[in-house]
Amino acid sequence: MNKLIFAMALVLMVICLTVATSGTALAQTALETIYVSEGSLDDHECDNVQWHFVINQLIDASQAPESIEVTWSNGVTEATQTVELSNVTGVVAHYYTTSYLNYEVVGAEAEIDEDWIGEFVLSHGPCNPTSVVLVDFEATSEQPPVLWGIILFILMLVALFFSLVLIISRKKD
111 belongs to a structural domain:
yes
- Distant-in-sequence, close-in-space partners of 44: CB < 8 Å, separation ≥ 6: 121, 122, 123, 124, 125, 127
6 belongs to a structural domain:
no
142 belongs to a structural domain:
no
Structural domains of the chain, count:
1
75 belongs to a structural domain:
yes
Tell me the three state secondary structure of residue 102: coil
pLDDT in tens, 32-60: 999 999 999 989 999 999 999 999 999 99
Overall average pLDDT of the 76-89 stretch: 94
On whether the CB atoms of residues 62 and 146 are closer than 8 A, the answer is no
φ, ψ of residue 112 in degrees (nearest 5): -145, 160
pTM for this entry: 0.61
156 belongs to a structural domain:
no
1 belongs to a structural domain:
no
pLDDT in tens, 1-39: 444 443 333 333 444 444 444 444 444 568 999 999 999
Residues of the domain holding 82: 29-125
88 belongs to a structural domain:
yes
134 belongs to a structural domain:
no
The Cα 115–Cα 31 span in angstroms is 9
Composition of the chain by helix, strand, coil, percent to 5 = 35, 30, 35
